[in-house]
Structure 1
Amino acid sequence: MKKTTILLFFLSLVIWVQAQCEFSLYNFPQNKVMIVAHRGDWRNAPENSIWAIKKAIEADVDMAEIDLALTKDSVLILMHDRTIDRTTTGKGLPSDYTFAEIRQFYLRDGAGHATRMRVPTLEEILEVSKDKIFLNLDKGFDYIGLVYPLLKKWDMLDQVLFKGVTDYNTFNEKYGYIKDEIVFMPVVRLEKSGKENSLKIIDGFIKSYHPYGFEFTIGETEKELIDFKPLRDKGYRVWVNSLWYDQNAGNNDDVALENPNVYEWFIKNNINIIQTDRINELTVFLQKRGLKQ
């Protein structure tokens, strides 16, 4: 009996350790800062391309943010703009083309030059990313119902983060049937909604659901900034972009080129997810602070 008890104990311990090691958003430590590569590592490959994701993986980034669009024949592809004009050699809306047609165009690099790379499907990105890097689907709130079966197929429901500018009632009406299976984060625009309305949106989610966290845009100043510590204390993650000055009260990536300590502002304000266009600068800063996973 004693040997059986010991054996069961060790089996339980093995199962517990495996669960902790599982590549899941829920296992990312709260005391580390998650680095999110904006549109993948677009400085080293065309934005929203397979290689932008591969380069982000090589850079040891935690998550890649990507953008979704739908072709005429209902294939989910990666595309940020309303049209394909800026990022490909084609012109028009994604919905003007079937996937086979859009695949005839080439992606452009950051300087606007045509490459030999093609527009990828979401499923191609899932294959590249699985168990290597988390994904955040931007411009994808309306496509959650289409993405869901793909994530089930690839067993990636806890590796992909959905988000959207929405209140809880709207989110629940559209996706109540799968809300407990997906990982979701509301986007709260403090500079547009103001503190009072923003707190109502936050409370609406907290009372009825447990989102992964909240993404905030701050504005050019700290006028509408709220205290994020109560959210962190309750186990919610707090996401603020370092991309542009109007999202973080001027504490943006370009400042980091001359003053990497600009990222101290994020730590001071209890932010533990940062989407960046300066992967190297942010990584080095977090490593020095012991905040890189």
Structure 2
Amino acid sequence: MILIKRTIIFSAVLASLCYTCVAYGQSATLKSKKNEIKVVMHRGDWRNAPENSLWAIRKAAEIGADMAEIDLEMTKDSVLILLHDKTLDRTTTGKGKPGDYTLQEIKRFYLRDGLGSPTEMQIPTLAQVLSLAKDKITLNLDKGFDYINMVYPMIKAKGMVDQILFKGSEDYQHTRASLGSILDSIYYMPIIRLNKGEGMERVKEFTENCKPFGFEFTIGETEAHLIDFGALRAKGYHVWINSLWPAHNAHHNDDKALDDIGVYQWFLDQKADYIQTDRPKELLQFLRKHTKHI
């Protein structure tokens, strides 16, 4: 009887592990047609791990996020690493620009946590991150427009083109001139700053000349009416809005959700289907309550 019970328990555990693997594989693609809101974690799970670290990305996948946003810089010997700032000072034990150091020299430094204390984690390379994320979580490469021509061969070789979302703030002409035919082979999302006077004309530049994945919009207090987000969604384009800071979302930001989680309803009303957040726990709680996320 004990042997039978142990066999049943082992089978149940094995089944749950297999289910987890399948779930990762099914969700970790930009081809997903699930009718739910996608949650993007800003610089990974930086509240529980150093930002732009391997741990932050792994934790983002574990918490149930669909995507981790990461930032790129390059070393002196042309190796792409994860780093948000132009210098190493804030987030690592190093000083100065990453381009002043080789990868071997960069490995001497350690990441700092959110309070500025040194950890034992090193600055990851993009290659390491791709290996970690493959079939587990999609990635958005922010602060990486200048490196798209380097990144594309890497993700193509790894079979990860469907997992990587690129973005940029340049107009269509500059984007096409910089990327050439690569623009037609990647998932690309232009950033449209409604709060800085950009609008439908820039959207049309892209939709009339290529097939963007969608658009990231920054929205001030009075600009939400300038674009029919529902019409864009109906045409197959995704709508990305950040819940990070007030200037991105007409003051419907993450910190306000700590007092009133109903703040997130605004994003549903705007027809956003990608929300980048610094408060994934609260956002996921809200979306699951409204059956907008598994």
Tell me if both proteins adopt one fold, taking TM over 0.5 as the criterion: yes
Aligned runs of 1:1-293 on 2, under 5 Å? 23-29=28-34, 31-192=35-196, 194=197, 197-219=198-220, 221-223=221-223, 225-226=225-226, 227-293=228-294
> Could you tell me how far apart the structure 1 residues matched to 2:29 and 2:261 are?
30
Deviations 1:255-285 (A, max 9, x none): 1111111000000011110000001000000
Contact 1:191 1:224 in 2 (8 A): no
Amino-acid identity (%):
54
Give the 3 Å change call, closer, same or farther, for CA 250–242 of structure 1 in structure 2.
Answer: same
**What secondary structure does 2:130 align onto?**
helix
Contact 2:76 2:101 in 1 (8 A): yes
**What secondary structure does 1:163 align onto?**
strand
Shift of the alpha carbon at 1:145?
0.3
> Could you tell me how far apart the structure 1 residues matched to 2:33 and 2:278 are?
21
Contact 1:218 1:225 in 2 (8 A): no
The aligned length equals 269
What's the TM-score, normalizing by structure 2?
Answer: 0.89
**What secondary structure does 2:263 align onto?**
helix
Contact 1:86 1:112 in 2 (8 A): yes
One-letter code of the match for 1:126? Answer: L
- For structure 2, list consecutive stretches of 5 or more residues without a partner in the other structure: 1-24
Greater Cα shift, 175-184 or 281-290: 175-184
**What secondary structure does 2:161 align onto?**
coil
What's the TM-score, normalizing by structure 1?
Answer: 0.89
Contact 1:166 1:186 in 2 (8 A): yes
**What secondary structure does 1:210 align onto?**
coil
Shift of the alpha carbon at 1:23?
4.3
One-letter code of the match for 1:100? Answer: Q
Deviations 1:62-91 (A, max 9, x none): 000000000000000000011110000010
> Could you tell me how far apart the structure 2 residues matched to 1:247 and 1:140 are?
20
**What secondary structure does 1:158 align onto?**
helix
One-letter code of the match for 1:161? Answer: L
Contact 1:190 1:225 in 2 (8 A): no
> Could you tell me how far apart the structure 2 residues matched to 1:21 and 1:91 are?
41
> Could you tell me how far apart the structure 1 residues matched to 2:237 and 2:100 are?
40
Shift of the alpha carbon at 1:174?
1.4
Give the 3 Å change call, closer, same or farther, for CA 114–225 of structure 1 in structure 2.
Answer: farther
Shift of the alpha carbon at 1:222?
2.5
Contact 1:189 1:198 in 2 (8 A): yes
**What secondary structure does 1:178 align onto?**
helix
One-letter code of the match for 1:228? Answer: F
Superposition RMSD in Å: 1.3
Contact 1:245 1:251 in 2 (8 A): yes
One-letter code of the match for 1:163? Answer: K
One-letter code of the match for 2:76? Answer: K
Shift of the alpha carbon at 1:233?
1.1
One-letter code of the match for 1:24? Answer: T
Deviations 1:151-189 (A, max 9, x none): 012110110000000111111111122122111000011
Contact 1:216 1:239 in 2 (8 A): yes
Other-structure match for 1:8: none
Other-structure match for 2:15: none
Shift of the alpha carbon at 1:21?
5.0
> Could you tell me how far apart the structure 1 residues matched to 2:126 and 2:109 are?
17
